[in-house]
Copies of this chain bind each other. A is one copy, B any other.
Amino acid sequence: MQSRLRLPDRKSKVTVKEVAQRAGVGESTVSRIMRNKGPVAEETRKRVMEAVRATGYVPNRIAGSLASLDSHLVGVVIPSLSNIVFPEVLQGIHAALWGSENQPVISVTEYDIDREEAVVRGLLSWQPSAILIAGFEHTEATRRMLIQSDIRVVEMMDIDAVPIDIAVGMSHRRAGYATGRYLVGRGYRRFGYAGHDWNADRRARLRYEGLVDALRDAGLTIAAEAIAEAPSSVGVGKEMTARLCTHEPKLDVIVYSNDDMAVGGIFHCMGAGITLPDQLAIFGFNGLDIGRELPQPLSTIRSNRFLIGRTAVEKAFESAQRPPEPSVIDTGFEVFTGATA
């Protein structure tokens, strides 16, 4: 009776050894078969697969990853799951990863870069093959870890900065500028801006700056703004709109930090009997489904979240080695002319 008492209370796990014995082959043969790798006689394969089924063997990937020094894991870091755009990015990631050996491991930061640091440290300890992370705003420690890890790192959503390794996204500054140009072109002159918490959302601020630039180039300014300290939501959009509607002289257009906010604006107008776009025009950002289905479709800018996720994966796996220079992929955007502006 040796130190055999170390087994966990779990039902004694089935291991390769057991399968190998049952099938009367060596362990490495079982291993090869489970991974469809290396030459195996059809005869042997059958015998082994039978043993696998009989025992209910499930390979232990923890042991496998350790032995092969390859986890086939992809770390994904996003700020939130409640903002629908991030689940959409995840869908792109899932789609691109589906069928490959790799599996995403998702972590959420709640827009907190200290939390992000903890989360990245946690992910790196799983030895992922790549990290896909939203945005450019990280703590110094996070940046260091990411750089030192020497795995591929994709910073998603945004391309208005120099990435650690790869950036995949769109220029929010240019989107803001395009918004301004479009609206000026449509004849709007008295601009309002309804926004949400910028500290957490650098990209919203970039769009705002782009907008201001476009207006300046047209000899205009933003006449009134209402910026909430809360994260964006339909409710907050309603509130900010109500506030801006008291402004004199009356605004003729309000630009929103995103579609959720803009939908709130539309709901406010519906309730207050303000007709769109004659009495007031409304412009959002993102191109969410909900905006398209409104009685009057929301005018907005379409970003391509799914494509960002998919492209991030593709670029991350293009090569295991980081090139000497960082690269930037622009997934673009387009102005969508709805009925509200």
Contacts and interface: CB of A to CB of B under 8 A. Distances in A.
A56 B150 CA distance: 12
A293 B234 contact: yes
A233 interface: yes
A324 to B, nearest CB: 15
A88 B82 contact: yes
A40 interface: no
A46 interface: no
Interface residues of A, number: 59
Interface string A68-85: 011100000000011010
Given A62-B126, A235-B293, A271-B295, 9 more contacts: A58-B124, A60-B66, A61-B125, A81-B81, A81-B87, A84-B87, A263-B290, A264-B293, A270-B295
B271 A60 contact: no
Interface of A: 8-11, 56, 58-63, 65-66, 69-71, 81-82, 84, 87-88, 90-91, 94, 103-108, 121-122, 124-127, 144-145, 148-151, 233-235, 238, 263-264, 267, 270-271, 289-290, 292-295, 320-321
Contacts of A106: 104-106
Nearest to A56: B148
Contact of A122 (B65, B103, B125, B293): B103
Copies in the complex: 2
Contacts of A290: 234, 263, 290
Nearest to A69: B8
A273 to B, nearest CB: 10
A121 B63 CA distance: 16
A3 to B, nearest CB: 15
A204 to B, nearest CB: 19
